[in-house]
Amino acid sequence: MTEILFIVLMTGEELIARATKNGDFYTIEKPLQLVKMQEGQSLKMGMMPYMPYIETSINLHQYAMVADAPEDMANQYRQYVGDIILPSTKIQLA
């Protein structure tokens, strides 16, 4: 099953990507690298393409951490890559 995951590589790079686990590998699509940006006194996160135009696999020994992406970060990822974002609340009709 494909999920949007937060991945920290052994090199320290932080990625968010659509990923599918295949045995000892994760196949990732449309990976974005998380970039920290200082804006005044606050720290913000931005996203930029990581190795664009390729699909790649990451060996289990090549990453330090894999976790489900927080919903707000997953929605920002979906918006960046052009996915449809579904509302998180139900619409009730009268």
In a domain? residue 38? yes
| 68, two tokens | 């489900």
| The model's pTM | 0.76
In a domain? residue 88? no
Q: What is the pLDDT of residues 14-44, one digit of tens each?
A: 999 988 888 878 888 888 999 988 888 888 8
83 pLDDT higher than 80: no
In a domain? residue 90? no
Q: What is the pLDDT of residues 47-68, one digit of tens each?
A: 998 887 776 677 667 888 889 9
> Phi, psi (5° rounding) for residue 93?
-100, 140
- What CATH number does residue 55 fall under? 2.30.30.100
The pLDDT value given to residue 90: 67
85 pLDDT higher than 70: no
> Phi, psi (5° rounding) for residue 88?
-85, -10
List Cβ neighbours of 48 (8 Å cut-off, separation of 6 or more). Answer: 32, 33, 35
Alpha-carbon separation of residue 6 from 1, 28, 58, 73, 91 (angstroms): 15, 11, 13, 9, 29
In a domain? residue 26? yes
